[in-house]
Amino acid sequence: MNKRTISIFGATGSVGTSTLDLVRRDRDAYDVQALTAHRDVEGLAKLAREFEARFVVIGDEDCFGALKDALSDTNIGVAAGTQALVDAADLDPDWTMAAIVGCAGLEPVMAAIEKGRTVALANKESLVSAGALMMAAVERSGATLLPVDSEHNALFQCLAGGRIEEVRRLILTASGGPFRTKSLDEMRGMTPAQAVAHPNWSMGAKISVDSATMMNKGLELIEAYHLFPVGEERIDILVHPQSVVHSMVEYKDCSTLAQMGPTDMKVPIASALAWPRRIETGCGPLDLAAIGRLDFEAPDEKRFPALRLARAALRRGGTAPATLNAANEIAVAAFLEERIGFLDIAALVERVLDEADIAEPRDLQDIFTVDRAVRARASEMIGEFARGD
């Protein structure tokens, strides 16, 4: 079998490094074309050498000189900045991992989709902010979009062999995060250190806070709406603290298929990397006897209002999901910097949504315009929350 050419956008992050761990297990099967990172010059240069990448991009242009110096004795192409990230997609690999965090990954993802190849999507914010535009691009180009989030990859696996018109509902499972059993009064005083201490998954700070607020599940609801066209009213969320069942599909005959696996992102990444085949991951097998029990409960939208906000934004449509995402990113950053409290995250997002003018985006530039405006307004509001206004 010929080598599969691959590019990894966000190579030094948790998803990128897990992807490369899988590539290491079978180096002869993959030819790494491009690797990118935001600011991690040392990590990117090391990976570029190890995997003999043809082209590397550092997102922060201030880091270009350092990266160029680090690879000066190689033939590896070096570039920096947003346009360079888009240019990396023009190498036209067979398979692209889109794992750049936040809206910064939107243009490279769209560029990769426009090439009409296979794109593994780990950047939920891009689909949340520009879902209709992205799915239209997929249809135009004939690209294959493979979900990497554990929940959406689980749905993808459960839908294999089934037909979307036979689905009664999709069920996204949620761990409930570190504050699942906490009261509102208890959550009011929670610190960033407590919020990022996820009970099951090892993740970055931003997504860990999103798990604590359950905004991650709200964003995943919007993502699922675009990936699996069953309608918003047929996508449910169920809290499952063990994180063994990653999501479920209920069919109209009342059969429910569930995908289970260890809490290791290598499993869904491997599913996307090898699709339509399966490969070894090196993960330990699931030991249900040791786990002993699987619990499920309905989410509490009073304690976790982010779920309600996400569903409301999806129903409003247009630029409302992009507004939700941008306001949340600003709010989470402010919380991590201890400028606002934990409960202020959802409250700030709701205030931004309430005053936002929602329109139908025509292109990515409309999304970026809304994103910038919302970030500016949310940043202004942070001072009000800090004063208790």
Where are the chain's structural domains? 4-146, 148-296, 317-389
pLDDT value of position 206 = 84
Residue whose entry in the numeric block shows the structure tokens 């999304």: 367
Omega before residue 285 within 30° of 0, cis: no
* pLDDT band for position 102 (cuts 50, 70, 90): confident
pLDDT of residue 121: 96
pLDDT of residue 162: 85
Taking the CB of residue 294, how many other CB atoms lie within 10 A of it? Answer: 15
Model pLDDT, residue 161: 80
Chain position carrying tokens 């749905």: 155
Q: How far apart are CA 150 and CA 210, in angstroms?
A: 15
CA neighbor of 96 nearest in space, from 141, 155, 66: 141
Beta bridge mates, 366: none
| Average of per-residue pLDDT across 61-75 | 97
Q: Are 378 and 335 in contact (CB under 8 A)?
A: no
Mean pLDDT along residues 138-142: 96
What pLDDT shows up at residue 123?
A: 85
CATH topology of domain 317-389: Rna Polymerase Sigma Factor; Chain: A (1.10.1740)
Q: Choose among 353, 345, 349: nearest CA to 317.
A: 353
Report pLDDT digits (tens) over 158-172.
Answer: 999 889 999 999 999
Q: Please report which confidence band the pLDDT of residue 388 belongs to, taking 50, 70 and 90 as the band edges.
A: low
pLDDT of residue 1: 57
Q: pLDDT digit string (tens) for 82-94?
A: 999 999 988 889 9
C-beta of residue 332 within 8 angstroms of C-beta of residue 378: no
Q: For the segment 267-308, what is each residue's pLDDT rounded down to a tens digit? A: 999 999 999 999 999 999 999 999 999 999 999 999 999 999
Residue 368: pLDDT above 80? yes
**Quick one: pLDDT band at residue 202, thresholds 50, 70, 90?**
low
DSSP character string of 176-199: --TTTT--HHHHHT--HHHHT--S
Report pLDDT for 316. 96
Of 233 and 204, the structure prediction assigns the larger pLDDT to 233
Task: pLDDT band for 48, please (50, 70, 90 cuts).
Answer: very high
Mean pLDDT of all residues in 246-275: 96
CB 107 within 8 A of CB 49: no
**Residue 204 near residue 14 (C-beta atoms within 8 A):** yes
User: What is the chain's mean pLDDT, rounded?
Assistant: 94
Structure tokens at 81: 């900045």
Lowest-confidence segment of 159-163, 244-248, 341-345, 366-370 by average pLDDT:
159-163
Say if residue 342's pLDDT is above 80.
yes
Alpha-carbon torsion angle 222, 122, 60, 208, nearest 10: 70
Q: What is the pLDDT of residue 126?
A: 87
Q: What mean pLDDT is predicted for residues 176-200? A: 91
Mean pLDDT on 240-266: 96
Residues forming beta bridges with residue 235, ordered by sequence position: 170
What is the reported pLDDT for 90? 83
Residues 6+ apart with CB under 8 A from 315: 232
User: What is the predicted pLDDT for the residue at 387?
Assistant: 55
E-assigned strands of the chain? 4-9, 30-37, 55-58, 77-80, 95-98, 118-121, 144-147, 167-174, 235-239, 245-251, 256-260
Find the mean pLDDT for residues 219-223.
96
25-44 residue pLDDT tens: 999 999 999 999 999 999 99
Q: For the residues 4-29, what does the mean pLDDT come to?
A: 95
Contact assessment for residue 287 and residue 267, using Cβ atoms and an 8 Å cutoff:
no
* DSSP state, residue 358: P
The domain defined by 4-146 folds into Rossmann fold (3.40.50)
Pairing assessment for the beta strands 245-251 and 167-174 based on DSSP bridges:
antiparallel
Nearest to 63 by CA among 80, 50, 87: 80
What pLDDT is attached to residue 261?
94
